[in-house]
Amino acid sequence: MKKQQFIDELTRAIAQVDPQTKAEIMADIQEHFAEGASFGLTEEEICIKLGQPSQIAEQVLEEYNAGGQQTTHNDFTDSVGDLMGSIGDLLGSIGNYAGHSIYTEVRRVQKEAERIKNDGFGRQIDIQCDPQIRVDIRRTRDGTTRVWGGYDIDIDETFTGVNSLDVSLSSCGIKIVPIEQGETARVVIQGSSRYNNFIVENQNGRLIVADKMPLVRFEIFNFNSKLDATIYLPQSFDGNIRANSSAGGITVANLRGDLVLKASAGSIVIDNHRGATAHLRSSAGSVSVKNSAIVDIDAKSSAGGVSIETEDTHNLAVSSSAGPVRVCAGRIGGETRISSSAGAAYLEAREVAGNITAKTSAGGVHIRLPREVNCRIDVKKSSLSTVENGLVGNPQSPYVLKASASVGSVILEALS
């Protein structure tokens, strides 16, 4: 489902709600789409996290009708007074609503928090709204009042017939490994999170794991917020693996299959993997591939280095905007491109049957290949770089080795 379809369905479903309340709800939804997009999520992934529009509308209408279609929890509103004198009233009133939905409860607390008169930064009230949620009200330095909350999460489910994986989590990192025995898949998510609703289901062999975005923005404050997610795949798994993490790294080990991995707030680590393709992106960490055999690799880091250790490769594109690049391969063919904007570039291969391009903007280039390499050698240097060439190229070869460094040395070294 796309964003506009989601908004249209929700708008129709809450048509009876008054314009002001409807505007507030739609503003929340728009904000969550913007937040999800900032983490690199697609519109479809954001819709999954938000849940079905009909389910959201059901919660909204339940709360709206319970409040007489005007406002909600008037008794509670009347009971809130000055912070210094009415903490007891506040805690007592919250207890009366412990059975309400999380959406209803947090919106109510969030609205009422603005009514609290606080005489200084740092004053807080710890409250318990629901057995699965902890909420904290705190006045921030700029004078606004915010609400934080954390859910206790304990998911442990198994599935059969899984042939592909699609996981998107905004609350933690992701670890994907084979199960110790058998052909079942297992999903284990445990800890504390600001997300309360997770999708874990098998859709015709496609295992989907995702956390739904909370309808009300609130984050953990002064509580344990550690959440761990481990996905165990069958021993014979050889399908597509797609993983997107907005709040941690991604680790894939001892598996087979094609990879599409994106980490917005952590590193990507791949160990002992076999597959045809790997598309890897890290916005705030490094990318590491070791002990693997992946034919085509496209790896990029915006805030860390990239290290690739693989056997035979056909196409290899490796780049870093803020760190070194290191590639060690058995045989490289097709197109191999390595680059770094803020670090050195290193390439080593035992056999070459394709084109190679290596360049850096603020570091050296070091290439180690067989002494008699089946490539035409084209090295460019600037006034700030030097060249050392220990290779013997083949002027008649259809392949080209290009190397350049804006600042630093270019070293072409023969393998011993």
Helix axes 53-66, 102-113, angle to 10 degrees: 60
142 located within any domain: no
What pLDDT, on a 0 to 100 scale, did the predictor assign at position 1? 83
Taking the C-alpha atoms of residue 167 and residue 185, their distance in angstroms, rounded to an integer, is 13
401 located within any domain: yes
Helix axes 19-38, 3-13, angle to 10 degrees: 160
Among 58, 87, 114, identify where a domain stops: 114
CATH value at residue 238:
2.160.20.120
In this structure, are 195 and 110 located in the same domain?
Answer: no
In this structure, are 349 and 248 located in the same domain?
Answer: yes
In this structure, are 61 and 190 located in the same domain?
Answer: no
In this structure, are 93 and 161 located in the same domain?
Answer: no
Distance of CA 384 to CAs 71, 141, 323, 366, Å?
70, 49, 20, 16
Report percent pLDDT > 90 for the chain. 46
Among 114, 134, 166, identify where a domain stops: 114
Q: Please give the tally of structural domains in the chain.
A: 2
Where is pLDDT greater, at 406 or 184?
Answer: 184
What pLDDT, on a 0 to 100 scale, did the predictor assign at position 300? 95
In this structure, are 78 and 180 located in the same domain?
Answer: no
| 28 three-class SS | helix
In this structure, are 175 and 46 located in the same domain?
Answer: no
240 located within any domain: yes
**Res. 106: pLDDT tops 70:** no
The arithmetic mean of pLDDT across residues 178-196, rounded, is 85
What's the distance, CA 404 to chain centroid? 34
What pLDDT, on a 0 to 100 scale, did the predictor assign at position 248? 87
What pLDDT, on a 0 to 100 scale, did the predictor assign at position 162? 96
In this structure, are 254 and 382 located in the same domain?
Answer: yes
In this structure, are 52 and 166 located in the same domain?
Answer: no
**Res. 299: pLDDT tops 50:** yes
In this structure, are 23 and 88 located in the same domain?
Answer: yes
Q: Positive or negative, the Cα torsion across 197, 201, 206, 207?
A: positive
Q: Are 116 and 127 in contact (CB under 8 A)?
A: no
**In this predicted model, what pLDDT tens digit does every residue of 380-401 receive, in sequence order?**
877 666 788 889 999 999 999 9
Nearest CA among 169, 97, 168, 179 for reference residue 135 = 97
Q: What is the span of the domain harbouring residue 69?
A: 3-114
Taking the C-alpha atoms of residue 87 and residue 78, their distance in angstroms, rounded to an integer, is 13
pLDDT level of residue 153 (50, 70, 90 thresholds) = confident
pTM of the full predicted structure?
0.69
Residue 72: exposure state from Cβ atoms within 10 A (0-12, 13-18, ≥19): buried
Taking the C-alpha atoms of residue 191 and residue 226, their distance in angstroms, rounded to an integer, is 6
In this structure, are 161 and 305 located in the same domain?
Answer: yes
pLDDT level of residue 102 (50, 70, 90 thresholds) = very low
In this structure, are 289 and 406 located in the same domain?
Answer: yes
In this structure, are 266 and 368 located in the same domain?
Answer: yes
Q: Are 197 and 208 in contact (CB under 8 A)?
A: no
Where is pLDDT greater, at 66 or 45?
Answer: 45
Q: Are 51 and 210 in contact (CB under 8 A)?
A: no
260 located within any domain: yes
- Strand partners of residue 176: 231, 252
Among 114, 129, 162, identify where a domain stops: 114
DSSP 211-233: EPPPSS-----SS---EEEEEEE
CA angle centred on 56, ends 55 and 60, rounded to 5°: 120
